[in-house]
Amino acid sequence: MSINPDILIKGCQNNDLQCQEQLYKLCYPDMIKICYRYAKDADGAGTIYNNAMLKIFKSIGAYKEEGRLMGWVKTIVVHCCIDFCKQQHSFSPFDAYKYEEETSINPEVFNTVSGKEIQQLIKQLPGATAMVFNLYVYEGFTHKQIGEHLGISDGTSKWHVSEAKKILKPKLEKFTQTELKTNAAG
């Protein structure tokens, strides 16, 4: 059965519990993946998602962008992820970034590593660094936008992304070397 988004939105605006439940379920598969990028475990991801959906239900009366529901929902989910992480990690407002040669990762690495494995490696980063890296890489935020959301300088944001790449590069290359050895042995 296909769900008509306009009817669903109207029902949610009228506090119809069935429509709210349907919207919750409709958004869950895509949005919980975003929540997992910012939480260390399923409990944290669930907390972020539930908080986001509460905000969505409270503010859906103001929703006016016809046809862009999932984009609107994603924006709220990402902001809830930021709020959650700000509670979990402290950010120093100092400008920690000094120019260093950019760490580059060989694109071939991504042919041997799954998205799930990459996410597991990102979760091993220090919390604040992982958050900034996710906002920059996955959400497409600029360093200026990240700085505004987190109360840090653009330079501090750049430092976190650079630091994440430095930490991830050897781990990703290790996957490539392991894959090459496995293929050569097979």
Domain of residue 123, CATH code: 1.10.10.10
Flag whether 37 is in a domain: yes
Q: Is the pTM of this model over 0.95?
A: no
Flag whether 99 is in a domain: no
Flag whether 79 is in a domain: yes
Flag whether 29 is in a domain: yes
CA distances (Å), origin 75, targets 50, 135, 178? 14, 12, 38
Q: Which residue has the higher pLDDT, 183 or 136?
A: 136
* Model pLDDT for residues 129-167, shown as the tens digit of each residue: 999 999 999 999 999 999 999 989 999 999 999 999 999
Based on the fold, state whether residues 12 and 84 are members of the same structural domain.
yes
Report DSSP state, residue 139.
S
Flag whether 96 is in a domain: no
Q: Percent of the chain scored above 70 by pLDDT?
A: 84
Domain of residue 43, CATH code: 1.10.1740.10
Based on the fold, state whether residues 83 and 121 are members of the same structural domain.
no
* Model pLDDT for residues 2-31, shown as the tens digit of each residue: 678 888 999 999 999 999 999 999 999 999
Residue 136: domain span: 107-185
- Quick check: 84 pLDDT over 80? yes
Query: Could you give the CA distance from residue 37 to residue 131 in angstroms, rounded to a whole number?
Result: 8
In this structure, the number of other CB atoms found within 10 A of the CB of residue 63 comes to 15
* Model pLDDT for residues 29-50, shown as the tens digit of each residue: 999 999 999 998 999 999 999 9
Q: What is the pLDDT of residue 137?
A: 92
Based on the fold, state whether residues 74 and 127 are members of the same structural domain.
no
**98 CB-near residues (< 8 Å, 6+ apart):** 159
Q: b or e along 23-62 (b: 16 or more beta carbons within 10 Å of the residue's beta carbon)?
A: bbebbeeebbebbbbbbeeeebbeebbebbbebbbeebee
* Domain final position from 25, 53, 88: 88
* Domain final position from 54, 88, 122: 88
Q: What is the pLDDT of residue 176?
A: 67
> Average pLDDT for residues 168-183, to the nearest whole number?
72
Q: What is the pLDDT of residue 138?
A: 92
Flag whether 94 is in a domain: no
Flag whether 98 is in a domain: no
Flag whether 170 is in a domain: yes
Mean pLDDT for the chain overall: 86
Based on the fold, state whether residues 81 and 145 are members of the same structural domain.
no
Query: How many structural domains does the chain have?
Result: 2
- Quick check: 109 pLDDT over 90? no
- Quick check: 91 pLDDT over 60? yes
> Average pLDDT for residues 177-182, to the nearest whole number?
59
Asked if 136 contacts 157 with a C-beta cutoff of 8 angstroms, the reply is yes
Map 65-122 to HEC letters: CCCCHHHHHHHHHHHHHHHHHHHHCCCCCCCCCCCCCCCCCCHHHHHCCCHHHHHHHH
Query: Could you give the CA distance from residue 186 to residue 184 in angstroms, rounded to a whole number?
Result: 6
Closest CA to 45 of 132, 129, 119, 95: 119
Q: Percent of the chain scored above 90 by pLDDT?
A: 60
Based on the fold, state whether residues 129 and 61 are members of the same structural domain.
no
